[in-house]
Amino acid sequence: MRPIIGIAGDALTQPSAKIDLNQADYVPRAIKQAVLKVGGLPVILPFSDDLQLTEEIAEQLADTIDGLILPGGPDVAPIVYHEEPIPQLGAVIYAEDLFETALIKAILQNKKPIFAICRGIQILNVALGGNLYQDLAVQYPDLKIQHKQQSFGNYPIHHVKIDPDSQLAELLGKTAFVNSRHHQAIKMLAPVLKVVAKSADGVIEAVESRQNDLILGVQWHPENLWQDDPTQLRLFADLIRKAEKH
């Protein structure tokens, strides 16, 4: 039996010619393919538009799945970490933030593993008590390299330095060459998390839990790298291994 890997759903923000597809729930195809490739059973977890149902639905889904992937997506709404939006903030979907926050708490309560990607590492940090740079370009004075890459999304663009004493180093080694499609990043780290990779200008690029092996979050997009760089597929295989164990 394949472990069931829930992938938190995003919603289309572009208008659709068909009314039924407006704000359609979806997950990135490359994540679905990666999960299938490493032996998992991918399922899409759509958020509830009715905020009253968010927690109930998240808790039941957390009981049902064996592991959780938090994909990339829209900016996290600053209200979730008690800030007003700066002018450079991108589009946000509050219902998605609340859903993923509830999912993260329920999954960790159930002692099941999480793998977070890009926006995923950001909502993970916020859900666990941290906050974010709403926009690196105007809020991070040490910004020296390109994090919002101009190249195609599957091109690696900058290096990350990995803490040798981490799960991530066991998977990727001491450095990795990764893509970068973010303008937000972790600012104040959640107490339960530890930083395990940074870019050359000090932006947080990966986190794990201080308490157990249940959390891995990366700021890049491994789902668009593994086709050319198979080492990145190990991040998905690691989630499957943990999902089978827990």
Name the percent of the chain in helix, strand, coil, to the closest 5: 35, 25, 45
182 is catalytic: no
In the numeric block, the tokens 């164990």 are attached to 245
We find the least distance from the C-beta atom of residue 180 to Mn ion, in angstroms, to be 3
96 is catalytic: no
We find the least distance from the C-beta atom of residue 7 to Mn ion, in angstroms, to be 22
Catalytic residue among 96, 100, 208, 223: 223
Q: How far apart are CA 147 and CA 144, in angstroms?
A: 9
Residue 170 tokens read as 């066991």
Comparing CB distances to Mn ion, the nearer of 61 and 117 is 117
Q: Phi then psi for 174, rounded to 5 degrees?
A: -85, -20
Comparing CB distances to Mn ion, the nearer of 134 and 180 is 180
Please count the residues of this chain forming the interface with Mn ion, following the rule CB under 5 A: 2
- Eight-class DSSP state of 155: S
Site string for Mn ion, 161-200 (x = CB under 5 A): -------------------x--------------------
Catalytic residue among 147, 182, 183, 221: 221
Catalytic residue among 96, 100, 118, 158: 118
Comparing CB distances to Mn ion, the nearer of 9 and 28 is 28
Q: How far apart are CA 180 and CA 147, in angstroms?
A: 5
221 is catalytic: yes
Comparing CB distances to Mn ion, the nearer of 55 and 229 is 229
Are 89 and 72 contacting, i.e. CB atoms less than 8 angstroms apart?
no
Q: How far apart are CA 153 and CA 147, in angstroms?
A: 11
Residue 32 tokens read as 């679905």
We find the least distance from the C-beta atom of residue 203 to Mn ion, in angstroms, to be 6
Residues from 97 through 156 that contact Mn ion (CB under 5 A):
147
Q: Phi then psi for 26, rounded to 5 degrees?
A: -155, 165
Query: Which amino acids are annotated catalytic?
Result: 118, 221, 223
Query: Binding residues for Mn ion, per CB under 5 A?
Result: 147, 180
